[in-house]
Chain A
Amino acid sequence: MKKIKAFIVAALLFTVFLVIFEISLSYKLYTDDKSMGMWNSAYKDRSYEAISQNIGDDTMIICGSSEFAHGRNSKYHPMNMCAKDSKNWMTIGSSYNQTLLHGIAVGSVGEQMNNKKVVMLLSPTWFYKKGISPEHFELRFSETEYYHFMENKTIPRDIKEYYAKRSEKLLSKNEGLQSKVELCNSINLGNNDSSIDEFRYNFYKGYARQKDYITVKTSYNLDHKLYGKGRKKKYANKHKIDFKNETMLKKATKLSEKKSHNDFTMRDSNFSKLELNILGLKGSHNKDSWEQSKEYKDLEYFIRLCNSQNIELDIVLLPVNGRWYDYTGMTKDKRTVLSENVKKIASKYNVKFDDLSKYSYDKYLTSDAVHPWNLGWVVINERLYNFYKGGKS
């Protein structure tokens, strides 16, 4: 009996603490200095509130993956080269994000993004046959975005059903997440009106929202106050932007040249890692192709989703290191297939398509097999900037 009394006392104390804690939570993830947008963080990517609260009238979302993490300490990263305009840009995505996840993210804030712009930086690497793997999908899956996606009344039902089916299947190895997704689907898409399930759903929503807030707030503070990962003033471009400026381009080339002494014009430190297995990697992708992939259908649904939300979309197909890809067996002819396929889809839905694969043989464009290096960023930034500034097409 004593033990039970002690438990009850402790439970009461804990409840008091819980109430105070809950009241103290502000859920504010809005950043006055607009730093949330270009902050590169997998936690932000997965947080509906972090994204939603920082969408303003002039916001442009940029969906991508690992490239955002590269070149942040250089003048050429979009957040530095387009210092002024990128304050209104919101990057979503880190390594392993692919189109399907971006659809959930954009769809979750779809209503806010009505009449606004989204750029999709497509990585060719997403288009291998199987598309996104269950492991990667699970790693980057966001509960809060998924719930808001499914609750977004302006998304057509068949699009929701596509995302529901794909998500359930890809999460089959994580029973906990999968059952939450199934629950959400049954309530928003099915005719589940059980009050127990309604209660559980609301509990999971509240819990996910709180966990999101704490996670993002903590990691934001750590990154900005402790690790100093915010924008660095010394790299910010204070001049007028001119992507074709000869001096600037020469400087960018020289900067890379200094650190690149290999046949593939990659950064030496990156190439040395590949060099260790240089013979083994030759032709390693001989059997692969980008001809057929689940990613194409994901892309189509992404476009349809953006159209349903009245979003103006620009699809940018990122360049790769052409020489290296030839070496590993993803030769130019195979890569052209991807360009053609995406072009077909883009024109089917009348969506702007910027194919940057023509730059794949430019020197010093990528620091490794895929990630943009100084000159690579210039090329991408031009598209971002022009699309952002341009009127509605």
Chain B
Amino acid sequence: MKKETKEFIILVLKYFLIMMILFIFAMYSGIIETPKFTYAEF
């Protein structure tokens, strides 16, 4: 594979990875959002 094509593909993959990470977080962040407070009533 030509060096330029390889670079291009890597760049595409970088963009795609960032988009995926942003998307996955946007969808799944609901799960981490609730900090587990300990309920200690006195």
Residues in A lying within 8 Å of B, measured CB to CB? 2-3, 5-7, 9-11, 13-14, 17-18, 42-43, 66, 95-96, 125, 139, 207, 210-212, 214-215, 218-219, 273-274, 281, 284, 328, 368-371
Q: Looking across the interface, which residue of chain B has its beta carbon closest to that of A9?
A: B12
Known pairs A95-B37, A370-B41; A215 contacts B28 (CB<8 A):
yes
Q: Looking across the interface, which residue of chain A has its beta carbon closest to that of B15?
A: A10
Within 8 A of A (CB), among B1-33: 8, 11-16, 19-20, 23, 26-31
The distance from the CB of B30 to the nearest CB of chain A, in whole angstroms, is 3
Inter-chain contacts of B42 with A (CB < 8 A)? 274, 281, 284, 328, 369
Q: Looking across the interface, which residue of chain B has its beta carbon closest to that of A222?
A: B31
B11 touches A211 (CB 8 A): no
The distance from the CB of B10 to the nearest CB of chain A, in whole angstroms, is 9
B34 touches A42 (CB 8 A): yes
Inter-chain contacts of B39 with A (CB < 8 A)? 66, 95-96
The distance from the CB of B38 to the nearest CB of chain A, in whole angstroms, is 9
Q: Looking across the interface, which residue of chain A has its beta carbon closest to that of B10?
A: A6
Residues in B lying within 8 Å of A, measured CB to CB? 8, 11-16, 19-20, 23, 26-31, 34, 37, 39-42
Inter-chain contacts of A2 with B (CB < 8 A)? 8, 11
Inter-chain contacts of B31 with A (CB < 8 A)? 43, 215, 218-219
Inter-chain contacts of B26 with A (CB < 8 A)? 207, 211
A214 touches B8 (CB 8 A): no
The distance from the CB of B11 to the nearest CB of chain A, in whole angstroms, is 4
Bound: A211/B26 CA distance, A: 8
Known pairs A14-B20, A274-B42; A214 contacts B30 (CB<8 A):
yes
The distance from the CB of B20 to the nearest CB of chain A, in whole angstroms, is 7
Bound: A371/B40 CA distance, A: 10
What would be 6 A-B contacts, judged by CB atoms less than 8 Å apart?
Answer: A2-B11, A3-B11, A10-B13, A11-B15, A14-B16, A18-B23
Bound: A43/B34 CA distance, A: 9
8 Å CB contact of A11 from B19, B27, B30: B19
8 Å CB contact of B19 from A14, A43, A215: A14
The distance from the CB of A345 to the nearest CB of chain B, in whole angstroms, is 24
Known pairs A11-B19, A214-B27, A214-B28; A368 contacts B11 (CB<8 A):
no
The distance from the CB of A282 to the nearest CB of chain B, in whole angstroms, is 11
Inter-chain contacts of A284 with B (CB < 8 A)? 42
Inter-chain contacts of A281 with B (CB < 8 A)? 42
Inter-chain contacts of A14 with B (CB < 8 A)? 16, 19-20, 23
Known pairs A11-B19, A95-B39, A328-B42; A215 contacts B30 (CB<8 A):
yes
B16 touches A273 (CB 8 A): no
Bound: A42/B23 CA distance, A: 23
Inter-chain contacts of B28 with A (CB < 8 A)? 214-215, 218
Inter-chain contacts of B20 with A (CB < 8 A)? 14, 17
Bound: A212/B23 CA distance, A: 15
Inter-chain contacts of B23 with A (CB < 8 A)? 14, 18
Bound: A224/B34 CA distance, A: 19
A7 touches B41 (CB 8 A): no
Bound: A139/B39 CA distance, A: 14
Known pairs A6-B15, A10-B12; A368 contacts B27 (CB<8 A):
no
Bound: A17/B16 CA distance, A: 10
Instruction: Add 13 more A-B contacts to A10-B12, A10-B19, A369-B42 (CB < 8 A).
Output: A6-B8, A6-B11, A6-B12, A11-B15, A14-B23, A18-B23, A66-B39, A95-B37, A139-B34, A210-B27, A218-B31, A369-B41, A370-B41
A13 touches B16 (CB 8 A): yes
Inter-chain contacts of A5 with B (CB < 8 A)? 8
Inter-chain contacts of B19 with A (CB < 8 A)? 10-11, 14
